[in-house]
Amino acid sequence: MAVEAISEKSAKSDFWDGVRLSMPVVVAAAPFGLLFGAIAVDNGFSVLEATLMSALIFGGASQMVGIELFGQHVAPWLIVLSIFAVNFRHVLYSASIGRRIAHWPVIQQALGYFVLTDPQFAVAERKAEAGETVGFAWYMGLGLPVYVFWAIESALGAVFGKLIPDTHALGIDFLLPIYFLGLVMGFRKRPLWLPVVIASAAASIVAHKTVGSPWHVSIGAAAGVLLAVILPPHHSGVEAKR
Amino acid sequence: MSTTLWIIIAAAVATYLTRVGGHLVISRFDHIHPRVEAGLNAVPAAVLTTLVAPAALGAGPAEWAALIVAAIVSLRGGLMAMFLAGAAVLILARQFVG
């Protein structure tokens, strides 16, 4: 009994620890949720469809790409394929975070993978890196607020979209890159961080100019990961850890 | 059901597959090769960099100022501090250089 009460209490505080960490993500994503809803309706989606897309896909960049293509009357299968391409980076997150949450019950893991977004991965991975256990309560505390607000903001954006004033002056279009830079900086203590960042930056820029969006994400990421694989293990700190 | 709904559902399934797929593939191996592990460790910085670099290159002085200030703040402060500093510089700089 006592042990149960204690573990329940710690699960609760773990959950709120996660919620606290989710706040910057909620703030950073808010303009995009609203923007997505507004753009979706502008491109022929109903308010319900826009909200449903956010609730089921939960991947901002891919939703923006999908809406853009929908507005251009691109073939449905091509829209789905493009969303898949933008989200393909999650395969890497999944493989990496899978090592941290493999001790959860299967249902919890299934839910955990559903909310595996860029910031979710980055923050959870950082916790694991600090030697702490990534628990289900903490992980959901981090992910749920982002998910709930994302769906609500999409609905609000869809309803009130045309009322957003000058988005450029408010810097809304560039908030995500700033946020992502912060996540990149958070990993700077990792072995090979600088070479990986340089390789990925260079490859993604070249791919962006040649192949075009959204492929620059997959190509740039592959370049950085490949460099880490190719360099001798004693540079990557993996050998020393064992 | 409408075509839009089918697109949403198909895209949702495809997206979930990317989120669960990496784990399903990797968990089939009980021993992870050091080079694979090194590659996995490089994933977050590699992917997140691609969401910053092209956007930064295509931007202007206001955005660069915001990124530089945010990067400097991130050396000392937390994620929220760096984000707010970057956003403040961006909004301020855009009043002058548009």
pTM of the complete model: 0.71
For A2-29, what is each residue's pLDDT tens digit?
555 556 668 889 999 999 999 989 988 8
* Domain annotation covers residue B63: yes
For A79-121, what is each residue's pLDDT tens digit?
898 788 778 889 889 998 998 999 999 999 999 999 999 999 9
A194 part of contact set with chain B, CB < 8 Å: no
Among the partner residues B39, B48, B83, nearest to A178 by beta-carbon distance: B83
A239 compared with B47, residue with greater pLDDT = B47
Interchain contact, A221 vs B80, CB within 8 Å: no
What is the tally of structural domains in chain B?
Answer: 1
Which residues in chain A are closer than 8 Å to B1, comparing Cβ atoms?
none
Band (B72; pLDDT cuts 50, 70, 90): very high
Give this complex's ipTM.
Answer: 0.83
* Domain annotation covers residue B8: no
Q: What is the amino acid identity at position A51?
A: T
Percentage of residues in chain A having pLDDT higher than 70 = 88
Name the DSSP class of A161: G
* Domain annotation covers residue B71: yes
Q: What is the amino acid identity at position B93?
A: A
Name the residue in chain B with its Cα closest to that of A209. B54
Among the partner residues B24, B34, B57, nearest to A239 by beta-carbon distance: B34
A221, B47 contact by CB (below 8 A): yes
A92, A221 contact by CB (below 8 A): yes
* Domain annotation covers residue B7: no
Please, which residues have CB within 8 angstroms of residue A19's CB and are 6 or more apart in sequence? A141, A142, A144, A145
B70 part of contact set with chain A, CB < 8 Å: yes
Q: What is the pLDDT of residue A139?
A: 97
Q: Residue B83 sits in which domain range?
A: 44-98
* Domain annotation covers residue B39: no
* Domain annotation covers residue B18: no
Please, which residues have CB within 8 angstroms of residue A174's CB and are 6 or more apart in sequence? B55, B59, B63, B66, B90
Q: What is the pLDDT of residue B93?
A: 94
CB atoms within 10 A of CB A106: 7
* Domain annotation covers residue B51: yes
* Domain annotation covers residue B32: no
